[in-house]
A and B are shown apart, each in its own frame.
Chain A
Amino acid sequence: MIEFNNVSAGYAKSAPVLDGINFHIDKGEFVFLTGPSGSGKSTLLKLIYHDLRPLSGTLRVAEYNSRRISRRKIPYLRRKLGIVFQDFGLLESRTAGENVAFALEVTGASRSFIRRRVSEALEHMGLAGKERCYPQELSGGEQQRVAIARALVGEPYALIADEPTGNLDPSISREILKRLEDINAMGMAVLMATHDYSLLVDRDHVRRLHVSGGRLIYDGPTGSFAPEEPPVTGNDTPTVV
C-alpha cells in the first residue's frame, strides 16, 4: 500500500531532511507518525502525496511508483489519498457541503452522485444538517470533521492526517482520534502524524513510526517505544525493548 525503500528527501541534496527511510504500511493498518518538530514528519507525508520527490530511493503508494510517476498522474494519486491538515484546509468561501463536494467536482462526477456522496459523508461524520454552514460558523472540531468527510468522500486507499488535532483542545482531539479509528476499523489505512503524545496513551498496541534527526529510529508498537533507541539499520524488524 505505502512502501518506502531507502528514501532520502529534502530540499538540497547535501542536506537531506530525511535519510534512508524504510517502512511498509499495509491496507487497513493504523499508524502513528511521531517525532520532534523539524524531524521530517511533514516531509515524509509530503512524499506520500508527492508534494516532494525523493532525492534517492523509491516509494510506492498503491500502484503509483515515485520513479515512474509523471507529473500529470499526481492529481490522480491524490484523489486516492484522503489528506487532512492541522488547519483543516477548508475553503472559507464555500459551505461545508461545497467543501466536501469539491473533492468530487474535480473528478468530473455527476451532480446527483456528488450530492448523494456529500450527504453520506457528512452524516457519517455526525454533521447532518450542517451542510449549508460556512467554516466560520463551525467549531474547530466540526471543521476538522468536514475536512475528514472531504478526505473520505472519494473513497481513498488511505487517510493521511498531518497533525489533525494540532488546533483542537484535548477532548475534541480525542474525539477526532476516535473517529479516525472508527474509519480505520472499517478497513481504511490511516497514517496520523502527531506530536500530541497524550493521544498515544492507552494505545500501546497501535503501530508507531518515530522519526528523529531525519531517520526512522523506531517502527513498532507504541507501548514498547523508548526514546533512546538506536537507529533502525535493517528493514522490517523493529527494535523492541
Chain B
Amino acid sequence: MRSIREALLGFSRAKTMSFFAILSTGFSLLVLGLFALALLNLNTLIRYFESKVEIVVYLRDNADTGRVGMAVEDLGRIDGVGRVNFVSKEEALENFRRDLGANSDLLQDLETNPVPASLNITMKPGFRDTLHVQAVAERAAELPFVEEVDYGREWLRRMDIFKHVVSVVGMISGALLALVAVVLISSAIKIAVFSRSREIFIMKIVGATNGYIRRAFLIEGLLKGLLGGVLATAVIFAVTEVFSRKLIPITGFTDRYYLYTVAAGALMGLLGSWISLGRYLRRI
C-alpha cells in the first residue's frame, strides 16, 4: 500500500528522529519487560517454595488401619487437597535412618520404633496458603487417632505476607513504570511530529485531507513503535539466554509475552502519533 511506502520513506528522511523514537519506545518496553521478567521469576520461586508445603499428621501407634484408611479418603475429598500419603512406622523409620545418613548407627540399638506413622498431605496449587492449609490441618486434628498436626504455620504466614507485598509492590511499580514509559514515548513522538510541523503545513497547503496526513503519520508511528517493541523483545530474549547459560536458569517469556511486547510498542506508537498529531490538524 502506498501509505506504508510513504511511512518507510518518512523513516529514511528523518533518520535521527525516527531512531530516537524507536529507541525511546524500545527502552521503555525493555524496562517494563525486565521488570515483568523479574516478577515472573519471583513468582516461580514462590511457587517452588509453596510446592514444599506439606501437612504432616502424626498418628498414634494404636490407630486402626480401617479408620485411617477412611480418614485418608475423607481428607482427600476436602477442597484443595492434592494427595494424602500414608507413611507407616517402618517407612518413617527408614526415612529417618536415611536422613541421618552417616549417623544412622545411632538407631542400631533401638528396641522399639519410636517414629510415628503419619499422613502426609499436599495441597493443590492455589490452595497453598494459610487459610486452606489451616482448615485441613484442623480437620485432621479432630480425628481421635491423631497425635499431632504439623504444617509450618509460621513459615506459611510469612509466605502469605511476602506474596501479598510482592503483588502490591509489583502492581504499583508496574503502574509507575508504565506511566513513565508512556510519558517517554509520547515525548519522543511529540518531538518527532513537531519537527515535521512544516511538512504538515505544506501537506495541508497542497490539499491533503486530515485523513491522509493522519494515515501517513499513524502508520509511521505504528511502525516505529513496532520496531521499538521488537528491539525490546530481542534484548529481553538475549538477557534471558545469557542469564540461563552463564548464571542460573531463569524463567523466560513465553512467545505470547513477546508478542504482547511488540504489540504494546505498536499500540503506543499509534496512540502517541494520534495524540501528537491531533494538535496540528485542529489548527488549519
Q: How far is the CA of A79 from the CA of B207 in the complex (A)?
A: 5
Contact B284 A107 (CB under 8 A): no
Question: Contacts A91-B199, A106-B203: A75 and B209 contacting too (C-beta < 8 A)?
Answer: yes
Q: How far is the CA of A181 from the CA of B83 in the complex (A)?
A: 97
Q: How far is the CA of A49 from the CA of B284 in the complex (A)?
A: 11
Which one of B13, B202, B208, B210 has the greatest number of beta carbons of chain A within 10 Å? B202
Q: Which of B2, B13, B207 contacts A76 (CB 8 A)?
A: B207
What residues of B have a CB within 8 angstroms of the CB of A90 in the complex?
202
A-contacting residues of B (Cβ < 8 Å)?
2, 6, 13-14, 198-199, 202-210, 212, 284
B-contacting residues of A (Cβ < 8 Å)?
49, 51, 72, 74-80, 83, 89-91, 93-94, 102-103, 105-107, 150, 154
What residues of A have a CB within 8 angstroms of the CB of B203 in the complex?
102, 106
B284 to chain A, nearest CB (A): 6
What residues of A have a CB within 8 angstroms of the CB of B208 in the complex?
75, 106
A81 to chain B, nearest CB (A): 8
Q: What are 30 contact pairs spanning A and B, CB under 8 A?
A: A72-B209, A74-B284, A75-B209, A76-B207, A77-B207, A78-B204, A78-B205, A78-B206, A78-B207, A79-B207, A80-B207, A89-B202, A89-B205, A91-B198, A91-B199, A91-B202, A93-B13, A93-B199, A94-B13, A102-B203, A102-B206, A103-B206, A105-B2, A106-B207, A106-B209, A106-B212, A107-B207, A150-B206, A154-B206, A154-B207
What residues of B have a CB within 8 angstroms of the CB of A150 in the complex?
206
A24 to chain B, nearest CB (A): 24
Q: Which residue of B lies closest to A99 (CB)?
A: B202
Contact A83 B209 (CB under 8 A): no
Q: How far is the CA of A93 from the CA of B207 in the complex (A)?
A: 19
